[in-house]
Structure 1
């Protein structure tokens, strides 16, 4: 059974898989093709660790391998709490435990057939931010935290909240049966075309226990959700990799504008500005040369990093801006897949370009 809060998180994971569709993120749904690493238990995917198996609701695989590394798989977990509740230390601790266990799952088999190995990473998304302790722990243990509380994701949060509310209202009890949750997730993946493989289990019916009106209500809400997501077809979440111990979720509502500019200028200088003085402010990236309206990327820095950048007096901000250029934001690398080919873009800026509106 899933609570309304858990259901919102599951739906957010599916929507994120769609937003990340061109970042090389290929959603894995089956375990039988990789029995040494992935197994299916009761229609749920598990990753085999050194000590135990770990359930995973959204697991992505990147088609390229970084230099001096292993092929990368990414645990994607999303939390859609109420606005006043941040994602806490307990969630990040669990992520660290899972990653530590699965990355140690290797034994030398002697004369047995060689097996592939993967490096597993973990990304936590939250619509209400993260606690200070959670951020500090994640920074120390290389767990990626992505804050989706900014204005750029209001449309996404609204669509998810509406669908989750409709499903809960149509469900027979206070919580939503797992069968309905699995059916909805499968249909979202098929409708948004995010899975690499289609799950083999039957999903023609939601649940025999549902009344016909409830069945129609859920399917109608699901159709509205998919339509709402597709109306934002130009929206995309690009993953920026700065020279820093965190990643940047770069959101754009004009994918074509960014790609047209970046295709002509794979490496180019940019401007960065902060939209407001309050703690929920977003940062905006635009090209420094030419037409600044060519594209616009928005992101939120980890709160403690942002506080460190802008929390000093005027002289202190200048010194810290120079440190940001040297240690954190000297360049941002973006990987993107197009027609099965990998494209790499670099956004570069100097500390003098870091300013507040």
Structure 2
């Protein structure tokens, strides 16, 4: 039987794949999409490493190759524990990442072979421990904290659905939860299953459980779609972390960004230490759109560590890490790039800014 925390994690991963559906990544769900790098086993997807094959629940491939880089693939893993995600999870991510990126050896013959740069993003509904953050920073594992107020609706929806699925598996004596079937159902309902890839022939023989779970999953999908205007954008600053940017209304952001793909923004911070959140809006028209995000907890703790230095430290973070943020977004089959700039004039203290 699946634990409640595991069910919450599965649902969170599929919800994130949906929220990130326009972020420039396409899902890889079947080994036949790349049988040189991927392995299929019992409906699960695995990636070949140098020393082992590694199961991956959500794997994305970036739509274009950055300059001076290999094509990029992203492991997306999500944890929805009741406590902060600990070091062991991040250490495992590093081990997987190191092994798959080492999987390129000389082989007989002259046939060219593609190679990829695998990256890892670990999402947590309740943040990360200090040791996990330090380890991730040292080994370039992206940590995304979803404990902020902007994600309350998502965490609540997942808790409700996971609790119902847990009760259903117990009521119908399901010995092994059909995770692959559940992912297939959600991806087809949410439209995240890749176009042109045949559905996997997976099902569950527990018919009564299937009927009950199908209703629960349909309700979960309906809750997500009620927030269709909300979108999770990935912001890439000149920093050792990524920014999960929550758009209150994606159409407002897109309308402005399409007209001004390179524009100046204002940044504001509210709250203290681990509870702090930031908002980003256009400098010339602050009501045009708003994006919300959280910085890594260790940065927020440093900012709030000495009260009399907090204002200056906020400005230092803006200048050193947030002065240029790039967002990639799919528009049909093409990729758009938007540049959000915190300009030098904005780096000087002003009467209405600092928090």
TM-score by length of 2: 0.93
**Contact 1:324/1:351 (8 A) holds in 2:** no
2:130 to 129, 132, 145: 132
CA distance in 1, matches of 2:174, 2:76: 22
Deviation at 1:276, TM superposition (A): 1.8
How many residues are paired up? Answer: 348
Deviation at 1:106, TM superposition (A): 0.3
Instruction: Please state whether the residue corresponding to 2:32 is helix, strand or coil.
Output: coil
Closer, same or farther: CA 99–265 of 1 in aligned 2, 3 Å: same
CA distance in 2, matches of 1:81, 1:192: 24
Q: In the TM superposition, what whole-angstrom CA distance separates every residue of 1:260-308 from its partner, at most 9, and x where no partner exists?
A: 1111111111111112235312111111112x11111000100111222
Closer, same or farther: CA 348–2 of 1 in aligned 2, 3 Å: same
1:312 to 306, 309, 312: 306
**Contact 1:75/1:120 (8 A) holds in 2:** yes
**Contact 1:168/1:175 (8 A) holds in 2:** no
Instruction: Please state whether the residue corresponding to 2:33 is helix, strand or coil.
Output: coil
1:352 to 332, 348, 354: 348
CA distance in 2, matches of 1:51, 1:174: 39
Deviation at 1:345, TM superposition (A): 0.7
Q: In the TM superposition, what whole-angstrom CA distance separates every residue of 1:21-50 from its partner, at most 9, and x where no partner exists?
A: 000121111012322210001111000000
**Contact 1:168/1:176 (8 A) holds in 2:** no
**Contact 1:152/1:298 (8 A) holds in 2:** yes
- Residue 98 of structure 1 aligns with which residue? 96
Is residue 2:276 matched to residue 1:276?
no
CA distance in 2, matches of 1:136, 1:5: 24
Instruction: Please state whether the residue corresponding to 1:145 is helix, strand or coil.
Output: strand
Q: In the TM superposition, what whole-angstrom CA distance separates every residue of 1:165-218 from its partner, at most 9, and x where no partner exists?
A: 111111147996545322221100000010213432143xx333x53xx44322
1:118 to 101, 116, 119: 116
Instruction: Please state whether the residue corresponding to 1:336 is helix, strand or coil.
Output: strand
CA distance in 2, matches of 1:199, 1:73: 22
RMSD: 1.9
CA distance in 2, matches of 1:353, 1:92: 37
CA distance in 1, matches of 2:252, 2:43: 40
Instruction: Please state whether the residue corresponding to 2:93 is helix, strand or coil.
Output: helix
Moved over 6 A (4+): none
Structure 1 gap segments, 5+ residues each: none
- Residue 334 of structure 1 aligns with which residue? 327
**Contact 1:322/1:351 (8 A) holds in 2:** yes
Q: 1:82-97 alignment to 2 at 5 Å?
A: 82=82, 85-97=83-95
Deviation at 1:76, TM superposition (A): 0.4
- Residue 39 of structure 2 aligns with which residue? 39
**Contact 1:2/1:175 (8 A) holds in 2:** no
**Contact 1:179/1:207 (8 A) holds in 2:** no
**Contact 1:257/1:295 (8 A) holds in 2:** yes
Q: In the TM superposition, what whole-angstrom CA distance separates every residue of 1:85-128 from its partner, at most 9, and x where no partner exists?
A: 10000000000000000000001225242111100000000000
Structure 1 window deviating more from structure 2 (302-311 vs 258-267): it is 302-311
